[in-house]
Amino acid sequence: MEPMGGAKLDPGHAPSVEPLPSSSGSNCSDLTLKLEFSTKVVEHEYIIGFTGYFSAKARSLYISSALRNAADADALEWRIVPRQNPASDFPSDFELVHIRQASPGSLLTLEDHPYIKRVTPQRKVFRTLKYTPSPEPAAPCNATRSWQSSRPFRRTSLSLGTGFWHATGRHSSRRLLRAIPRHVAQILQADVLWQMGHTGSGVKVAVFDTGLSEKHPHFKNVKERTNWTNEKTLDDGLGHGTFVAGVIASMRECQGFAPDSELHIFRVFTNNQVSYTSWFLDAFNYAILKKIDVLNLSIGGPDFMDHPFVDKVWELTANKVIMVSAIGNDGPLYGTLNNPADQMDVIGVGGIDFEDNIARFSSRGMTTWELPGGYGRVKPDIVTYGSGVRGSGMKEGCRSLSGTSVASPVVAGAVTLLASTVLNRELVNPASMKQALIASARRLPGVNMFEQGHGKLDLIRAYQILNSYKPQASLSPSYIDLTESPYMWPYCSQPIYYGGMPTIVNVTILNGMGVTGRIVDKSEAGGELTSTVKLPIKVKIVPTPPRSKRVLWDQYHNLRYPPGYFPRDNLRMKNDPLDWNGDHIHTNFKDMYQHLRSMGYFVEVLGAPITCFDASQYGTLLMVDSEEEYFPEEITKLRRDIDNGLSLIVFSDWYNTSVMRKVKFYDENTRQWWMPDTGGANVPALNDLISVWGMAFSDGLYEGDFTLADHDMYYASGCSIARFPEDGIVIAKNLKDQGLEVLKQETAVVEGVPILGLYQTPSDGGGRIALYGDSNCIDDSHRQKDCFWLLDALLQYTSYSMTPPSLSHSHSRVAPPTGAERPLPQRLEGNHLYRYSKVLEAHLGDPKPRPLPACPHLSWAKPQPLNETAPSNLWKHQKLLSVDLDKVALPNMRAYRPQVRPLSPGESGAWDIPGGIMPGRYNQEVGQTIPVFAFLGAMVVLSFFVVQLTKAKSKPKRRKPRIKRPAYLQPQAATATGKSPTV
């Protein structure tokens, strides 16, 4: 997990907080709650994870046995930290140990023990609330109270402010009059199930939060309250846990979904909003022992490689605990999903408002676990109301909050209510419940699947599906239609064609039949419980576009948190220090991708080394914000490719070892103050790549506004060009020295900073190279002014050899720098990039490149074409081939609400292929004949119309016959015949 609120943490910080005032009576006030987060590692404390559950005595023996074998065993001072909580009397799969002066060798010795799985540091989380005056007038007691949050980088509460959802603008003189909404349970028609006698009875639901008061009037079935903190209280001193519990199970005022459910309160945060990893692990173990059915976790963070936490969540769902978690409040940016909601086995919940719009704060997909080689999963799983939702106040009364931590208990309450409606409880498990929720969800129009998942929660339809459910496997998504826009974005945004990079769609199998399963062929199905799934696929296929229109995005050399510390590209963003959004064209470069598509370019993603693509098929290779190293074979191949006509555009970023040391933080894995292993980009690696052409970037760090080609631009923590060929074009601007500001808090302006370079390689038919020192202007994360126009100009240069006059004749053009005035940046000594690099491996002395991996080998399916092709300019995006629905029997797919029919027994899984389609390769001779026949046919039709026109002119004119009145307008006729007229 990463630090919050800044790149450097204060290990001595211990925040405090006042109790949250009640939202009823005279305690109402016009205050805004502001959340601030920070973290630290507990000195000398380690979590020892075991391979199974053991008694306290056995765990102690295993640890002492392992440490006796350590090389520094005599110098080690260690003890087991006592954990006094309800789980202490049961076997456990971890131990908390205090080891003084632990060496890396002793920790490795611990992991060598056959019963010890992992050793990780103990972590401490701070969640601080501060009161600030509200800019709005005092609101009545039942009005919305605002929560404002900085982006959390730990597993933290995901509540958010709501005031801005109801404002029409700062300067407006009138405001919308909004009706007070009904309670969210009634809006989702929970009262229909209540009238049928279903109120959550017999279902155990756990709330992991800040506790609950013993005599709160809203709850009648609090089965157990447990405290996992070091405070001697079970009460909620903040109000967040009470609100979440109220949405699920309140029986009064702000009605919850399942008032008769068994409520288990787990207090895992103190009144000072402090928690520890070990508290969560103990509480999770206790939840398994208590056979909890539903667990709500309104917390999140981006670290899906926090192994003890993630592994324990997998164990919970394997024990039939249905976990519901908030997807995160980091929207509208894409690639911002929080863990554990981004896990496959967890129901990840996004937020909408009461007008069914996706809440701006709700995090968007895709999941970034699978990058760079694959493609992320669809998340969130489902969305529901999360803006201005009413829930229980801390002592009594109701209050309103917003955030995905509000949407999460809405779904958790609905799941609890649904579980109570099923007679055979054995059928209810995390997979079957998730299947029912996503199959019944209502598709929101005009919203893609990485924003809404499978759609809006529909409680009644989910009830109908769940009560007729039979154990089966299903798919998420249930079909692939690359022509369905906008739901299937980004897949629907670009057709596929021969020779393109594979289009990867991540489909998850949900197994409602058991904890484990495997994929088998139909012929292998024996006496086991099996289920047949069918995946309909529809795509649009076009002829291969010309080389000049094809752009290849280098994803392979982009890294992000976790597991390493990669700083943000814009150092001004101190509250958001880490680069963790994937650096993908469909996450934080989404707007750039949409722009390139609108300009007619086809953008493909390279998820393998540079050695694994055919450069003759592409006009431009686009490298943006690269942090990874390069194999020597990649450097050699790129030089050869550019000599043969491939062009290269590089958007670099800052790299300065002194600044990197300045933005260090206390790393939670190595337990030491740690510098980033690269800057905004890995400039030394980029310099190795482009050095053969006499090019290099500097270690300068610059910032400022300027004008280029009549466009306003902003340089955000970028570097400069240190070397460039003398016959190239270089543009320079006056910028502030941000490196000096960071290191010495001094301000200085540097004149003539080279920021842009264009170069035509000298080889016959060689490609072109363009360098720019900052990527922030095409990155959605903190972009202030976009430079898409510049990207267009660079692509015109690289793809068509058209030098933009606005750049070549610019007054800012300077002589190319030679690099003699200052040395080039060197890699930071002692960096740990090799620990998570795909290119480097540990070696005595400096890390060395790994052996070049083999390129991915694809097993191609047998082609069964559905289109009759013809030679044309159909590669243009406005003229796409489509499936002839009259010829092909396709699954019934209604707009926005697909209905996929399952296979009947014995039914073939293949589509019927219309007759007359030639299998295999397109016949070129036939393709050349088609235009001739088309021309002759057009001439015949034209001749026919000419003859008819001539005949019409030669005939004498005739008077128009009088139009006879229709029979149904003649009442006499109808009466005479005795029959009623037929309409």
| 969, burial (CB in 10 Å: exposed 0-12, middle 13-18, buried 19+) | exposed
677 catalytic per annotation: no
One-letter-per-residue 3-state SS of 683-745? HHHHHHHHHHHCCEECCCCEEEEEEECCEEEEEEEECCEEECCCCCEEEEEEEEEHHHHHHHC
Strands annotated E in 600-668:
602-606, 620-624, 647-651, 665-667
| HSE (side-chain half, CA atoms, 13 Å) at 89 | 2
Nearest to 326 by CA among 373, 389, 281: 389
- Active-site hit among 159, 166, 209, 363: 209
- Please state whether beta strands 294-297 and 204-209 pair in parallel, antiparallel, or not at all (unpaired): parallel
Distances in Å between the alpha carbon of 16 and those of 68, 127, 208, 864? Answer: 42, 9, 21, 66
- Active-site hit among 146, 405, 432, 775: 405
Measured in degrees and rounded to the nearest 5, phi and psi for residue 602 equal -105, 120
**DSSP states of 821-837:** SSPPP-PPTT--GGGT-
Q: Are 115 and 93 in contact (CB under 8 A)?
A: no
356 catalytic per annotation: no
- Supply angle C-alpha 880, 884, 890, rounded to 5: 115
- Active-site hit among 240, 264, 454, 877: 240
Cα(775)–Cα(763) distance, integer angstroms:
29
Preceding peptide of 562 cis, ω within 30°: yes
- Chain-centroid distance of CA 641 in Å reads 34
Cα(465)–Cα(427) distance, integer angstroms:
12
- Supply angle C-alpha 117, 123, 126, rounded to 5: 155
Helices 240-249 and 404-420 sit at what angle, rounded to 10 degrees? 30
Residues forming beta bridges with residue 898, ordered by sequence position: 893
H or E element in which residue 58 lies: helix 56-68
- Supply angle C-alpha 901, 904, 906, rounded to 5: 145
405 catalytic per annotation: yes
Measured in degrees and rounded to the nearest 5, phi and psi for residue 877 equal -70, -20
Q: How many CB atoms lie within 10 A of CB 947?
A: 10
Strands annotated E in 437-507:
473-476, 480-481
Task: Please identify every residue annotated as catalytic.
Answer: 209, 240, 405
